[in-house]
Structure 1
Amino acid sequence: MKRLSFATAIAGLLMTGVAFAADSYDIDPTHAWVRFETNHAGWSQAQGAFKAVSGTIAFDKEDVTKSSVEIVLEAASIDTNDEKRDTHLKSPDFLNAEEFPQITFKSTAIEKTGDKTAKVTGDLTLLGTAKPVVLDVTWNAESPLPWDANTIKTGFSATGTFSGPEFGITKMTDFGLGPDITLDIDVEAVKK
């Protein structure tokens, strides 16, 4: 009887551990939006987006500090609503997309700030330079798809600002841009 009780207790502990482990998600590239804006000579906030976004999320709802995120942007997918400008932004003057095809953000620490909010610190790698950037993140919701109860989606919104020249985009100021760039990120991710 004692063996059975001990085995039951161990099984219960293991099941509890599994219940509180981080869930894994893949960012849905068809429901991921990464927009950016930067000052344009005081006239306006120049804006654009990256069309190719992917990544993974490990989300521990019981202890968000144990969560993690990795986002990948394809530099050549930049879109500012002007083909000539986009071509210039992909050039060595700005993103140098041929030599550095990906822009990545990989979390290094998460600090809970509210019921559904956190500050996510991570390494942003741009033009081969990695520096810490802080994103203010909101967990929006999680639920099954209305037409497929077996597919669970979760969604996040995030924003953060960094200096373009500090990452090697030194010609920004030559064109009256920046120097700060703000990222706005909205992603939906599918539970594995």
Structure 2
Amino acid sequence: MNTWKVDKSASTVGFSVPHMMVSTVTGTFEEFSGELQGNIADLTKTKISFQVIVASIQTKNRDRDLHLCSVDFFDAETFPEMTFSSRAIYNDTDGRYQMSGDLTVKHTTKRAIFCITPQEVTVFGATYFVEGEIKRKDFGLMWNRAIEAGGVMVGEVINIKMSVVICKGEK
């Protein structure tokens, strides 16, 4: 079975979440790794795993990043890593795929679904655009505050968008 590794220098792991009912906070995780085992041209015959280092979060606001790593949110000291392991990948429309698997954040593992859109696939590797969304409270990310004018500080749904480049790994 072929093993392909995520090229961290060419890939991005991003997210966005509504903030204060009027804006959106965007960010990235700078430290991550991943592996695809199988046929990069037919993802229905692959197994994908991905790991993200929580403390590598970047939102262009140091105080917010520290708060996100605290026990109020990710508790990065106790749970330093988020993981994903695919269970099934199906053909979707227009050459895209639907991938379901187990996402673990903090102490909670839940099923998550991502859409994968191949951007480029060659004999040397591939580039995929991956997107999905999760409900943060499903994973124990509970902190929030009411806003005086109505609403809350942090939205419920986190949008995830990744550009993933893979290259041949060791067998």
Fold shared by both chains (TM-score > 0.5): yes
Look up the equivalent residue of 2:67 and give its one-letter code.
H
How far apart in 1 are the matches of 2:32 and 2:121?
Answer: 20
Equivalence map 1:100-179=2 (5 Å):
100-114=79-93, 116-143=95-122, 152-172=124-144, 176-179=153-156
> Residues 27 and 189 of structure 1 are in contact (CA less than 8 Å); yes or no, is this contact kept in structure 2?
yes
Q: Give the root-mean-square deviation of aligned CA atoms.
A: 1.7
Sort the Cα spacing of 1:191 and 1:117 in 2 relative to 1 into closer, same or farther, 3 A: same
Name the SS for the 2:78 alignment partner.
Answer: coil
Sort the Cα spacing of 1:65 and 1:111 in 2 relative to 1 into closer, same or farther, 3 A: same
Equivalence map 1:54-65=2 (5 Å):
54-60=33-39, 63-65=42-44
User: Per chain length, whose mean CA-contact separation is higher, i.e. which structure has more relative contact order (CA < 8 Å, sep 6+)?
Assistant: 2
How far apart in 2 are the matches of 1:178 and 1:90?
Answer: 17
Sort the Cα spacing of 1:69 and 1:95 in 2 relative to 1 into closer, same or farther, 3 A: same
Q: What stretches of structure 1 of length at least 5 have no aligned partner?
A: 1-21, 145-151
Sort the Cα spacing of 1:74 and 1:61 in 2 relative to 1 into closer, same or farther, 3 A: closer
CA apart distance, 1:184 = 0.2
How far apart in 2 are the matches of 1:62 and 1:189?
Answer: 12
Partner of 2:13: 34
Name the SS for the 2:11 alignment partner.
Answer: strand
How far apart in 1 are the matches of 2:47 and 2:94?
Answer: 17
Structure whose alpha-carbon radius of gyration is higher:
1
Sort the Cα spacing of 1:63 and 1:51 in 2 relative to 1 into closer, same or farther, 3 A: closer
User: What is the TM-score of this pair, normalised by structure 1?
Assistant: 0.80
> Residues 40 and 126 of structure 2 are in contact (CA less than 8 Å); yes or no, is this contact kept in structure 1?
no
> Residues 21 and 155 of structure 2 are in contact (CA less than 8 Å); yes or no, is this contact kept in structure 1?
no
User: What is the TM-score of this pair, normalised by structure 2?
Assistant: 0.89
> Residues 41 and 121 of structure 2 are in contact (CA less than 8 Å); yes or no, is this contact kept in structure 1?
no
Larger relative helix fraction: 1
Q: Identity across aligned pairs (percent)?
A: 29
Look up the equivalent residue of 1:190 and give its one-letter code.
C
Q: What stretches of structure 2 of length at least 5 have no aligned partner?
A: 147-151
